[in-house]
Structure 1
Amino acid sequence: MKRIFVIDDERYTLDFFEALLMDDEDIVVYKYDSPLKALNDIDKIYPDLVITDILMPEMDGLGVLEFIVKNYPDITVILITAYASIEKAVEAIKKGAFDFITKPFEDLEEVTVRIKKALENSQLKTELKTLQENIKEVYGIENIVAKSKQMLDILSLIKKIARINSNVLITGESGTGKELIARAIHSLSDRKSNRFLPVNCAAIPENLYESLFFGYEKGAFTGAYTNKKGYFEEANGGTIFLDEIAETSLNFQAKLLRVIQERTIKRLGSSDIINVDIRIIAATNKNLKEEVAKGNFREDLYYRLNVINIEVPPLRERKEDIPYLVEYFMKKYSKEFSKDIKKISSEFYKFCYEYEWPGNVRELENIIERCVALEDGEVLTDKYLPNELSQIKTKEVKPYKLAKEEFEKEYIKNLLMITGNSMSEAAKLAGIDISTLHRKVQKYFKK
């Protein structure tokens, strides 16, 4: 149901809009002869559209507009004006009004069309607001689960660098969350209302790099039937995330370096120079210094990209984050799969601590998604772990005393073999007293 406020000190105008829209069952009209009363009701009713006269004694329409634009930017406003005050209507458009309607209302169809378009604009604003909130919910810095010192330091760095335009190089193993960090930087930056464009460089064939990144003009090559923007143009005003940057060719690296230096591009088949305003965030799971030494990566590009470096540690080096990640993903997938899982078993936590997570956070998330999907009870257990991991889970952890004795026995056995069973040589090689060695040999081998 669409809600419309009509504000005017003239009764005729209020009744006109009510009569005009009364046949539309999806619209409710609220009439106000007092602008202050209407503004006071916004929080309670929250209209999709406000139609207000400009000239009113209590408060003029421009004042109503300014209040709404400042405090409720997703509400659409139409101004009503007489022919004599068109200049004020134009001023209102500049200040944020969607449209204006002139009195007297002679063309009813035109008035109706303007209202419908304003409601469509309001719907678009609502959808955009929802989308932005969803993006923040998924990609905001709040959703980077961090309790370890390493990750808290990274979050602190993200906040420091988000609002500057320096290039960033994010390094770390696959699955550590490099793209999530890049998105968090973008979401906190002044570019957040513009596009974040992720590009997997490893997935692009060499012969397509130029057309995909720089775009092309119609007729530039066989199959170029229309003009097309490249990635750099699409990301203009925003952020481009170049994942797996180490997989690019030296030829493309030279072109990327020129874009960074000159902030301009040319489409294939065109001589026109296009200015681009983009922030570049690159990521790799390789050591770029080593790639430079091998001749696989341009040194000058490396320094251009590595203005600010963020090294993301593997999950095995920040195990204090694991219980929080487990709980976060359990809640996420419980909600997604409509499950009623309330707890996580100690056995599941134990497995998560002992496993080394070669696939890092991505592997952890995938395993929890699987276990939640298959779990029928209220407790997330380890019974649905993949077969290859359940074998790791069931490995016996020996008591320290027993493990130590097994090590000593094997160590002394190898020591005597090396020294040809010479007790004195074996004791000397091991750096222990010969009497100690005799006691251990007696203990392990002469029962």
Structure 2
Amino acid sequence: GADRDADGIFGQAQGGILLLDEIGEIDTNIQVKLLRFLEDHIIRPVGSSKDIQLDVQIIAATNRNLKDEVAKGNFREDLYHRIAAWTISIPPLRERKDDIALLLEYYAGGPLKEIFTPEALEKLMHYSWSGNIRALRNAVKFMATKRRIEGKPLVDVSCLPDDVREYIPSRAHSIEEQQALMLLRHIEEAFGVTTRKQTVAEKVGLENIDNLRYRVKTYFQKFPALFEGLPLIRQHYPDILG
């Protein structure tokens, strides 16, 4: 057993901010302990008999829909309400095509035209990236290694991971669908700041909650797939989105 004080990650974060990544993955025993800490901000270091009051702000991140996990019994509802006081929803990478080029340039370490052939870059830009940024980062590492081993001047299509090279993109969004997606993203962002539907409606230029509800309902009937990455809209319109 432990015979001396140990700060642990919470103690080390005293006076600062602690990021809890993938919080949706923690088991129920840890959830109980985390809830207790969030209620009183007190810890007892390993090997100590004294409690310590901490001043630590918590940021939690997850790629899961925690409300769904609560409904399934996998995540404590009281803990969810503790950590969901302020939420920021980031759309999946496939819905942020403009970010793909920036991320490729960042992880590849240089201008795209000096690293990728146009054909390879086009496939990378149209890939779905279901694994989001982690998948893109790993793909860049794979391509850099293959380019180096094969002595190629640029990353061409043959250097791409198999799933990227063989990917066939789905149909392009219509103009109406693109406009719907843009408005829905703005609505999602607004719900991340306030829960008042009237305020959200005004922020996105829809004047009142009736217009807001009409747009959500209409877009869900026409383009249900657009709502996959919009948990806050789902939370506020369960009667429409189910």
Q: TM-score, normalised to structure 2's length? A: 0.60
SS, match of residue 91 in structure 2: coil
Shift of 1:388: 4.3
Query: For the residues of structure 2 that align with 1:389 and 1:244, how far apart are their CA atoms?
Result: 26
Question: Is 1:261 the counterpart of 2:36 in the alignment?
Answer: no
Match for 2:145: what amino acid?
Answer: A
Out of 152, 158, 162, the residue aligned to residue 383 of structure 1 is 158
Aligned to 2:194: none
In structure 2, relative to structure 1, the CA distance for the partners of 1:230 and 1:331 (3 Å cut) is: closer
The one-character-per-residue Cα deviations of 1:209-251 (angstroms, maximum 9, x if unpaired) are xxxxxxxxxxxxxx32433222211211222211221222333
Which residue matches 1:288? Answer: 66
- Pick from 301, 304, 323 the counterpart of residue 101 of structure 2: 323
Runs of 4 or more, structure 1, over 4 Å off, are none
What does the per-residue CA deviation read over 1:160-185, in whole Å, with 9 as the maximum and x for residues that have no partner? xxxxxxxxxxxxxxxxxxxxxxxxxx
- Out of 73, 87, 92, which is 1:309 matched to? 87
Using the TM superposition, give the Cα deviation of residue 369 of structure 1 relative to its aligned residue in structure 2, in angstroms. 2.1
Amino acid at match of 2:161: P
- 1:357, 1:260 → 2: CA distance? 35
Q: In the TM superposition, what is the alpha-carbon distance from 1:296 to its structure 2 partner?
A: 2.3
The answer for the alignment partner of 2:21 in structure 1 is 243
2:139 aligned with 1:361: no
Distance 1:391 1:299, change over 3 A: closer
* Aligned match of 1:15: none
Aligned residue identity for 1:357 = W
Letter in 2 for 1:251: N
The residue that corresponds to 1:373 in the other structure is 145
Q: 1:391 to 1:251 in 2, by over 3 A?
A: closer
Counting aligned pairs with the same residue, the percent is 42
Summarize the Cα distance change of 1:266–1:343 in structure 2 as closer, same or farther, 3 Å threshold: closer
Over 3 Å counting, the alpha-carbon distance change for 1:235 and 1:346 in structure 2 is: same
Q: How far did residue 282 of structure 1 move?
A: 0.9
Partner of 1:227: 5
Higher RCO (C-alpha under 8 Å, 6+ residues apart) = 2
Q: Which residue of 2 aligns with 1:120?
A: none
Matches within 5 A, 1:63-212: none
Q: CA deviation at 1:377?
A: 4.3
Change (3 A) 1:324 1:270: closer
Aligned partner of 1:356: which letter?
A: S
From the CA coordinates, give the structure whose radius of gyration is larger. Answer: 1
1:273 is matched with which residue: 51, 69, 72? Answer: 51
In structure 2, the CA distance between the partners of 1:346 and 1:275, relative to structure 1 (3 Å rule), is: same
Greater percentage in strand: 1
- 2:120 equivalent to 1:348: yes
Shifted more, 362-371 versus 248-257: the winner is 248-257
What CA deviation, in whole Å up to 9, does each residue of 1:266-315 have, x standing for no partner? 23554422111111111112111122222222222211111211112111
Q: Tell whether the 8 Å contact from 2:139 to 2:160 is kept in structure 1 after alignment.
A: yes
Q: 1:230/1:327 Cα in 2 relative to 1: closer, same or farther (>3 Å)? A: closer
How many positions carry a matched residue from both structures? 167
CA RMSD of aligned residues (A): 2.8
Alpha-carbon distance in 2 for matches of 1:378, 1:278? 49
Give, as a single letter, the amino acid of the residue that structure 2 aligns with 1:361: I
Gaps of 5+ in 2: 171-242
What is the TM-score normalised by the length of structure 1? 0.34
Counterpart CA distance in 2 for 1:312 and 1:263 is: 28
Counterpart AA for 2:156: T
Match runs of 1:383-402 below 5 Å: 383-392=158-167
